[in-house]
Chain A
Amino acid sequence: MTDAFVAAALPVPPVHAHRPKPASVLILGSGPVVIGQAAEFDYAGTQACRALRAEGVRTILVNSNPATIMTDPSVADAVYLEPLTVPAIEAVIAREKPEGLLAGLGGQTALNLAMELSKAGVLERHNVRLLGTPLEAIRMAEDREAFRDLLDRIGQPYAPSSIVEGADDEARHASARVALETIGLPAIIRPAFTLGGTGGGIVETEEAYWERVRAGLRSSPIKQVMIERCLVGWQEIEYEVMRDAEDTCIAVCSMENVDPLGVHTGDSIVVAPVQTLTDAVHQRLRSASLAIIRALGVEGGCNVQFALSPDSTEYAVIEVNPRVSRSSALASKATGYPIARVAAQIAAGRTLADIPNVVTGTTVAAFEPALDYVVVKLPRFPFDKFPGADRRLGSQMKATGEVMAIDRTFGAALNKALRGLEQAGAGPMGEDPSWAPTFAYLAAVYAGIDAEEGGAGFDGLPAEDAPIRWTDAGGQACESSRFAQRSAAPIVLKRFLEPSDSRLWRVLGLLRRGVPQEVVRRATGISAWFLAEMGRNVALESDVRAMGPRLVDPEDADGAALLATVKRAAFSDRDLASLAGMQEAAVRGARQALGIVPGFAMVDTCAAEFAAETPYFYSTYASSGSPAEAPPVARPAALVIGSGPVRIGQGIEFDYCAVQAADVLRRNGWSAVMVNSNPETVSTDFDASTRLYFEPLDTESVRSIIEFESAGFRNPDGTIAMLPAVVAFGGQTPLNLAAPLVAAGVPLLGSDLEAIDQAEERTRFSALLDRLGIPQPEGGMAESIEEALTLAERIGYPVIVRPSFVIGGLAIDFAYSPDDLVRHLAAAAVVDPDRPVRIDRFLEGIEVDIDAVSDGRDVLIPGLLEHVERAGVHSGDSIGVFPPQHVAEGDQSLIVSTMQRVCLALGAKGLVNAQFIVRDDGVYLIEVNPRASRTVPFMSKVTGVPMVELAVRISLGETLASMGWEDGLRPVPPFVSVKSPAFSTAKLKGVDPSVGPFMQSTGEVIGIAVDPRVAMAKALTGASLIPPRAGDGVAPLVLLSVADRDKWGVPDLGRALVRAGYRLAATGGTRATLEAAGITGIAHVAKLGAEPVGDEVGILELIASGEVRLVVNTPTPRSGAVRDAADIRHATIAEGILCFTSIETGIAASEALDPSIFDEIAVVRSITDWVPGVAAAS
């Protein structure tokens, strides 16, 4: 060989130290679900554990989140449900002695923790090797300055930026001043090392600049913020890349954000693969991504984000995440390539070339997936729960979840994603009625003008001073030819289209009214190509409207062609029916008669180049009539319906149940078909079921799947043997589908429709309880506000109000007075005979949550969960304690026996959840749901009762007795488990954090210990609901301002805080209560709005002083929309101070601060140590 030729030439792989496969690996989870860190890490961590175990590596998992699949004892060799803190992790390391630590699969939380563990010397002390992402890469990707140096070294461009940092506030202020001068406005503020862009944002004014910089410095753990030039209007492009230790690099997926730069990618509409880039530009960005992952030295997955100038001539690197991420979960589901799994295998020492491609079964992981479809992801926002929140979008992520859809065109995938959002009014044609006047005005100005010519468009206006006509907010017809009236249009347009959760629908609405795409493009920066495709969808709507009944006329060729066309564009039968003015069944019947049914295509990573073994499918009318890619799954089989996008109130706990249900079916010899639309979850992993359909969870989509999967199967009587559906494990989403599916002839596995209906329909449910003699809160239906007032008067205030039609308010709220009731109903709801309101007595007392498994004869009850907060706080936001600490034996027995009677009366077969209120005057049943509840994963793990397994097997014909389980309550374990909610409220500007009747929390954590206070401390620590401790002569300040009705708890609260070493500050009445209880030395605080008198400090000044570590502020009860003292809580949140709004939470947390239990918090045990049978059971 001529050395000169070959040696010079071949890229020499870097020399690596010998990397033996670690015998054991500690995997860090990401803790509770919060905005910016959701189910994607359950998916990533679960894949990683399974991959490592398959490699023969012993896996040890730490995560404080009980709702996850990853913390199921069957997923890892040892599972620790412990807080993600340095002391707890060190204790786990000391106990388990892992060789390696894998932090790249637990999001920013795990990466930050790995940095802390390293800094604290823990890794060195215990000889633990960090696998995957090197510490240096974490540092370089997050430390803005180091990252820019790296980019300079490899010649990659970035937006001009300036770092704000310094030793103290003064230095940081000076640094911020310099940054403002060099970068200018508008600018993007990016705090270092924060989740989901916490504290960041785009600022346009100097005032906003200083506010954001201050907030950013506060939220950054290293007190560093980057000020970056805002590349407004540039496109945002992302690449998911992987690298192994041999330096093989691949780009798994390219993604293009429909929203231009400025909106957090988690809040953006994202399309995969890139749509509007030439190959040359795409390759340039792809090559840049590979150069970056090489320079960082990441071993595993990495996400690189670019800004691309609108004419594609220039780009800038925006951000790098050297770990798996939300985007990598999306990329995995979009391509079929299991990024987290491969990342874990790389960490275990394998190379991309020797890892098989599990999807094709014949090729290797060292390749790049080829897509033959388009993927659209839409974010799911929580604003339906927070009508008062600031709904504008920026660099702070606000979405709680996302929905993904697959089809052959962008328009069809977009329509499917819109159908999959499962949000009222969020379909393809959703429009907020309040936009009507703006639509009318903008259409009057812009519709029909030629934006390209004549100087019209975003900046210009129609050249002639012709009159414009529109309808104003009051419904009055308006006409104007005044120049001033029309010259406001560009401002109105820009304001109307500024980035917000509803911009997509606003854009569609304007296009629908003939506003030129070019006008919208200039106002939004959305690429012309995307707007053109949206315009095509909108044009189809009007074609259908014009076609009318001809759409379903079998003899009308134009109608049939249009029907075939709009189905290809993925319009639902229901929407088509409403456009064409007919019943949904007519559309369905017509298209079926014409053979317009969806085909199902495979997601195979290779665009059909190789035969694939994957069981992953999507529907598309573009392959209507093409040969099927696979026959229906083998019978017996059932369809498990998942829970759709993660939203407040329906989170990953339901994914846990759906995944378990599919698993149990398979272990019992059934085929499990899964349908879901959420790319972040374990349930949409290709190996979580026998076959996966990635589809919107609407009746039409689910029916199509069932029909396809039922072809060729016959009942003995010759009818089609429809694939049965499992609706009990995905939360409310599948339950809502139960009735239409049954009506379509689909059998349900588990509780029948009758049981569901009897529990769900309040009047029937009430009657059932009356018949059984079970006490329930008094209540009734009202068909007018007057009736509601009379009813409320009769049953007595406070009452719970549940309107059946809500406008801008919340579905459920309390009313403490007639004023409250009127305000709520008049402002937020419609009440008439068709849309009655339900009024129930609001009972205060101890709330108890109970889950049961019923087989129709026996009812097994794993345990009771007592809520810490008094009834009135949504059960999802309450701290739960198992077993109950304050409920008398007799009351517990009564709850159990009542639960058993209700389950049997409903004829429930499977899981049933209920809520009781325990009061001095009796035990009341509030609510029953014959389905898996939020608490199922938690209760299953702490009791060792495999609830989902038992429920599924019962639906397959087994009984509790035949499975070896007894009727009644399980023995109480010798330890206490606490479930705490975790909140994302700080990320949602304008949201009052006070807990109430509507759920606000996004996730949950667990704490387990023998001492209830230790369990509480662990749980609150995991949920970031524990204030910084006192110690080393530091006595932090706690501010108390408690409403009169909560004063009973003030002495306990004060004593506990003083014992924990805190100083107290309190407003007048609260201080008096404390002093009366013998607590002294309390700083005087003036009430909100009152002038400080004497030695009093103003309350907002005190909060802003930086001394306060905790605020306990309980609001005077009023209906949710208008709560008192919200300013105090907003100020508290703005300062990053912990705030409790329930006295019970305050007391429980304060008791958990007791210094005498401090050391016990870092004592760890695995879940199988606590519950020996739990692994075997599942």
Chain B
Amino acid sequence: MRLPPLPRADAIVDPRVGDAGPALLALEDGTVFPGIAFGSPVAAGGDLVVNTSQTGYQEIATDPSYAGQVVVMTYPLIGNYGRLEDDDQSERPWLRGLVVAHATAAVLDDARQLATLLRGNGIPAIAGVDTRALARHLRTTGCQRGIITAPGVTDPAIAIAMARDVPRWEDQDFVAQVSPAAPREVGDGDAPLVAIVDFGLKANIVRSLRRRGVRVRVLPHTATAEEVLAGDVAGVVLSPGPGDPARLAGPVALARAIIEDGRPLLGICLGHQVVGRAAGAETSRLRFGHHGANHPVQDLDTGYVQVTAQNHEVQVVGESLPASSGFRVSQLNLNDRSVEGLRHVEKPIETVQYHPEGAPGPLDALAVFDRFADACRRNA
């Protein structure tokens, strides 16, 4: 049986979004999906990650943790509602490319279409891919590099070669790309001050902390222990961010110093992995990553189960956590029993692999910030 003819471009890219012509999504294993380009008319590649969230494409696009990755959305209609600037998680989109089944349009002006955001930042996107089939494929093969070709480039052989040329995710230093160059402070007065080491911070983390009555000092990933643990700092947050923690010797050393210091510490996602490594645990890459808004996590101290937002490739290997580290595994993912949190047995230190700030995703675990803010207040 021959492959069926492609549908008209306007069936998969809403005419109000506007398509840029045929393009390919090619995987390093030689799999090719034809589609219609609708983002920036350039080629770009990276590791493919599959996100199963049904809403929140704007937050995903602007989440620095996706730096260097091509995000595949399983929800088939992306673009239904308009972007609101307040919901952006950082200054710009960081993902390297976007793969969707249908690029739909919000019934609004162009400025608020998702495609406009991508085009303004040189990010390509492709629609018309059976993203479910792609997700199933990646589930079997594990992580792969892929490339979205520029519009008009439809030779599979060229595309596959390009996919194989994409630099490997674990060989790249993404944190340096997304972390700010200079520190900034948010809030004033005599509220307790929280230092956030920005490995790829999301706006909703700052917002969640501010709502709990603390001031925030955001520091670059290169900040020294002295800077982080300045005298006025009541507690430290190691933020989420992109890339492999195994490359982050500096931040791991920083985490060791903070643990040693004993001030309240909250590690989120990459921050959690960094603390894990500082505690002597190993980290390893998940086969497929966790990217979605529906992961059940159980707190081992209380038995409490919450639905969490997740976005990570790497896990802390629970068995490798030294008993002498003072840490123990505090939370588990009920889907695959992977580590979702660490707690120090004596010090006010807690880490979570998931995103308590949601954005996108459930806000069920905001109590993580309550606990941390309370600890900072006691320490202030």
Contact = CB atoms under 8 A, between A and B. Distances in A.
Tell me, yes or no, whether A binds B: yes
B7 interface: yes
Given A595-B4, A609-B288, A1 B133 contact: no
B136 A608 contact: yes
Interface string B106-142: 1100000000000000000000001111011001000
B305 A352 contact: yes
Interface string B49-68: 01011111011000000000
A622 B101 CA distance: 8
B348 A5 contact: yes
Interface string B1-25: 1111111101100000000000000
A990 to B, nearest CB: 37
B301 A609 contact: no
A462 B184 CA distance: 55
Contacts of B56: 278-279
Interface residues of B, number: 77
Contacts of A277: 55, 81
A5 B375 contact: yes
B335 A610 contact: yes
Given A283-B358, A372-B75, A246 B11 contact: no
B13 to A, nearest CB: 12
A581 to B, nearest CB: 21
A607 B87 contact: no
A564 B136 contact: no
A609 B139 contact: yes
A561 interface: yes
Nearest to B347: A2
Contacts of A279: 53, 55-56, 58-59, 87, 358-361
Which of A278, A370, A611 has the most B CB atoms < 10 Å from its CB? A278
Interface string A2-31: 101110111111000000000000000000
B298 A290 contact: no
Contact of B367 (A10, A287, A351): A10
A611 B139 contact: yes
B107 A528 contact: yes
Interface in A626-670: 626-627, 629
B108 to A, nearest CB: 9
By size class, the interface of chain A is 35 or more
Contacts, number: 237
Contacts of B378: 4
B249 interface: no
A278 B84 contact: yes
A13 B371 CA distance: 16
B334 A367 contact: yes
Contact of A608 (B102, B135, B362): B135
Contacts of B3: 595, 625
Interface stretch (B37-45, B90-98, B186-194, B289-297): B289-297
Nearest to A530: B107
Contacts of A280: 84, 87, 359
Contact of B335 (A364, A594, A627): A364
Contacts of A369: 294
B4 A2 contact: no
Given A1-B346, A364-B335, A409 B105 contact: no
A557 interface: yes
A395 B373 CA distance: 47
A529 B80 contact: yes
A8 B374 contact: yes
Interface stretch (A181-189, A268-276, A972-980): A268-276
Given A10-B304, A246-B303, A569-B11, A5 B350 contact: yes
A597 interface: yes
Interface in B250-307: 264, 288, 292-296, 298-299, 301-307
Given A364-B335, A569-B11, A372 B74 contact: yes
Which of A408, A532, A622 has the most B CB atoms < 10 Å from its CB? A622
B8 A561 contact: yes
Contact of A565 (B8, B50, B368): B8
B292 A370 contact: yes
Interface of A: 1-2, 4-6, 8-13, 246-251, 254, 273-280, 282-283, 286-287, 290, 351-353, 362-364, 366-374, 408-410, 527-529, 532, 557, 560-565, 568-569, 594-597, 599, 601, 606-611, 622-627, 629
Q: Which 5 A-B pairs have the closest CB atoms?
A: A9-B371, A279-B56, A528-B107, A626-B133, A279-B360
15 contacts: A2-B348, A4-B348, A4-B378, A247-B304, A279-B361, A366-B296, A370-B293, A565-B10, A568-B11, A594-B4, A594-B5, A597-B4, A601-B132, A608-B139, A624-B4
Given A529-B80, A608-B139, 13 more contacts: A5-B264, A5-B374, A8-B370, A275-B81, A277-B55, A278-B87, A364-B296, A372-B52, A529-B81, A563-B5, A596-B4, A596-B5, A607-B75
